[in-house]
């Protein structure tokens, strides 16, 4: 019965385990395995992410402390830290990467009609990256600079639900703009990015794909104005111009017209200039699109909070990638649960509640549906939009 199962077991039931088994079979994950199969490894690593465990020893100690409840979580037996370390070290990380992408596809279907901050009917994505610093002596394979190691996560975040639809992991040396070469663009969708992605040849590829981009203009941006549209200055807009590039190489790379929009943030007084290839959407909506890219920063904040240097459970590339992909899978699973149960809390709030209630034997919907948190949730979710750009 449901009341006899822990909240953790109920949460894990939202995973499509038949798809997980396909990923395991694809890479032979359970071949020659006696003690810890892929299913158990995923459960233990998910438990570690949800409860903020700091090390393998921390995981082992906490699982021992659970006692008889361990079996009721779905983890059938006590697992020594050495066994978990070997699994993370040797079991192909692509098992968990493929499964995370399956969850991402499931979440995308659930959130396809979800509204977001800007008045726009098209799909919208935020593209950004974050650098996770590592200790060079412990992670020599991730050398970034002379005395520093790092890996970089390049993430495409959909605003219909605020979860990642694409995650590319590279060394810290890879520049952000190179990721545009590995992406495909949906016609009619908006891709919002910062100035680090301004490369007119690559932006023109987005334009040729019938997709739209919104970015910030660099200080040395050279152009010739062709037309100026009227704007309502009371909204913060300064100008709405149609321009062409004047530099020799930029003009060769992007021969079509661009739209240049000036805006003054009413809260901070900061002057901002945006570039886009969309000529029909109202200028104020373009500024709102860039303003609402804050969720990608919150996602990276969550990743960094859970993947601090002392929280990595292994030092090999396979162990690090395994942990990151399971962390992403857990984050997307929370988004799926949030939509399925029609919860109003933010993913961050849900994670905080689950971290304290995983071993309770009550229905998960009862744990997560707490009307007293509604007002707090509203304040948290509205806060990023007030912080501006």
Does the CA dihedral 198-199-202-207 come out positive or negative? Answer: positive
Let me know: does 128 contact 293? Beta carbons within 8 Å: yes
Average pLDDT estimate for 246-262: 93
Which pLDDT does position 375 carry in this prediction?
A: 42
The residue ranking higher by pLDDT, 260 or 2, is 260
The backbone torsions φ and ψ at residue 2, rounded to the nearest 5 degrees and listed phi first, read: -65, -35
Tokens representing 168 are 């590319």
pTM: 0.79
Neighbours of 77 (CB within 10 A): 10
Measured CA to CA, the distance from residue 9 to residue 57 in angstroms comes to 23
Which pLDDT does position 262 carry in this prediction?
A: 94
Which pLDDT does position 103 carry in this prediction?
A: 93
Which band of pLDDT confidence, cut at 50, 70 and 90, is reported for residue 97? very high
Measured CA to CA, the distance from residue 167 to residue 126 in angstroms comes to 12
User: pLDDT for 51-61, tens place per residue?
Assistant: 888 888 888 88
Percent of the chain clearing pLDDT 70 (strictly above): 87
- Eight-class DSSP state of 208: H
Which band of pLDDT confidence, cut at 50, 70 and 90, is reported for residue 159? confident
Q: Is the pLDDT of residue 388 over 50?
A: no
Q: Which of 91-95, 302-306, 353-357 has the lowest mean pLDDT?
A: 302-306
Question: Three-state DSSP class for 69?
Answer: helix
Which of 153, 155, 159 has its CA nearest to residue 183? 155
- In DSSP terms, 169 is beta-bridged to 153
- Eight-class DSSP state of 276: E
Distances (CA, A) of 105 to 11, 110, 163, 280, 331: 18, 9, 11, 30, 13
List the end-to-end C-alpha distance of the chain, in Å, as a whole number. Answer: 49
Measured CA to CA, the distance from residue 336 to residue 368 in angstroms comes to 13
Which pLDDT does position 117 carry in this prediction?
A: 54
What is the residue whose two structure tokens read 């709030």?
349
Q: Is the pLDDT of residue 239 over 80?
A: yes
Which pLDDT does position 56 carry in this prediction?
A: 87
- In DSSP terms, 164 is beta-bridged to 157
Which of 91, 96, 87, 72 has its CA nearest to residue 36? 87
Averaged pLDDT score across all residues of the chain: 84
Which pLDDT does position 327 carry in this prediction?
A: 87
Let me know: does 377 contact 345? Beta carbons within 8 Å: yes
Based on its alpha-carbon atoms, the radius of gyration of the chain, rounded to whole angstroms, reads 23
Helix segments in the chain, DSSP class H? 7-12, 17-26, 38-50, 56-66, 69-72, 81-90, 94-110, 200-208, 248-253, 283-291, 294-306, 317-340, 347-357, 364-368, 374-386
User: pLDDT for 306-347, tens place per residue?
Assistant: 554 446 788 888 998 898 899 889 988 998 998 899 888 877
Tokens representing 65 are 């402390």
Which pLDDT does position 305 carry in this prediction?
A: 63
Average pLDDT estimate for 202-206: 96
Q: Which of 112-126, 235-249, 368-382 has the lowest mean pLDDT?
A: 368-382
User: pLDDT for 349-384, tens place per residue?
Assistant: 888 888 888 888 888 888 887 654 444 444 444 444
- β-pairing, 212-216 vs 190-192, is parallel
Average pLDDT estimate for 385-389: 34
What is the maximal distance between C-alpha atoms in the chain?
Answer: 73
The residue ranking higher by pLDDT, 303 or 268, is 268
- In DSSP terms, 167 is beta-bridged to 155
The H helix count followed by the E strand count for the chain is: 15, 10
Which pLDDT does position 122 carry in this prediction?
A: 76
Q: Is the pLDDT of residue 17 over 80?
A: yes
Which band of pLDDT confidence, cut at 50, 70 and 90, is reported for residue 230? very high
Which pLDDT does position 27 carry in this prediction?
A: 93
Q: Which of 45-49, 250-254, 348-352 has the lowest mean pLDDT?
A: 348-352
Tokens representing 347 are 């993913």
Domain boundaries, the chain: 2-97+314-386, 184-283
- Eight-class DSSP state of 176: G
């Amino acid at each position: 019965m449901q009341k006899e199962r822990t909240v953790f077991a109920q949460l894990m039931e939202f995973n499509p385990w038949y798809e997980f088994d396909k990923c395991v079979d694809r890479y032979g994950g359970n071949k020659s395995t006696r003690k810890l199969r892929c299913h158990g490894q995923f459960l233990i690593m998910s438990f570690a992410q949800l409860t903020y465990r700091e090390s393998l020893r921390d995981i082992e100690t906490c699982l021992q402390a659970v006692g008889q409840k361990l079996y009721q979580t779905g983890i059938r037996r006590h697992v020594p830290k050495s066994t978990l370390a070997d699994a993370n070290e040797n079991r192909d990380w692509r098992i968990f990467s493929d499964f995370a992408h399956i969850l991402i596809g499931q979440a995308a279907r659930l959130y396809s009609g979800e509204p977001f901050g800007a008045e726009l009917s098209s799909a919208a994505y935020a593209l950004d990256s974050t650098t996770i610093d590592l200790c060079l002596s412990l992670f020599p394979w991730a050398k970034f600079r002379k005395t520093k190691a790092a890996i970089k996560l390049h993430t495409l975040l959909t605003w219909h639900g605020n979860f990642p639809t694409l995650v590319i992991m590279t060394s810290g040396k890879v520049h952000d703009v190179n990721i545009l070469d590995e992406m495909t663009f949906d016609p009619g969708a908006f891709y919002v990015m910062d100035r680090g992605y301004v490369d007119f040849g690559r932006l023109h590829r987005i334009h040729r794909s019938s997709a739209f981009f919104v970015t910030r203009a660099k200080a040395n941006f050279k152009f010739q104005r062709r037309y100026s549209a009227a704007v309502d200055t009371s909204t913060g807009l300064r100008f709405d111009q149609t321009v062409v590039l004047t530099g020799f190489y930029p003009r060769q790379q992007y021969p079509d017209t661009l739209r240049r929009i000036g805006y003054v943030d009413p809260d901070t007084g900061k002057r901002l200039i945006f570039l886009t290839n969309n000529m029909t959407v109202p200028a104020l909506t373009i500024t709102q699109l860039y303003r609402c890219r804050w969720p990608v920063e919150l996602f990276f904040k969550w990743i960094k909070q859970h993947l601090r240097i002392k929280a990595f459970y292994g030092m090999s590339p396979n162990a690090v990638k395994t942990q990151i992909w399971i962390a992403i899978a857990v984050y997307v699973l929370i988004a799926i649960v949030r939509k399925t149960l029609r919860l109003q809390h933010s993913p961050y709030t849900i994670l905080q509640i689950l971290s304290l209630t995983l071993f309770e034997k009550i229905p998960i919907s009862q744990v997560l549906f707490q009307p007293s948190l509604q007002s707090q949730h509203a304040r948290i979710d509205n806060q990023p939009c007030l912080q501006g750009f």
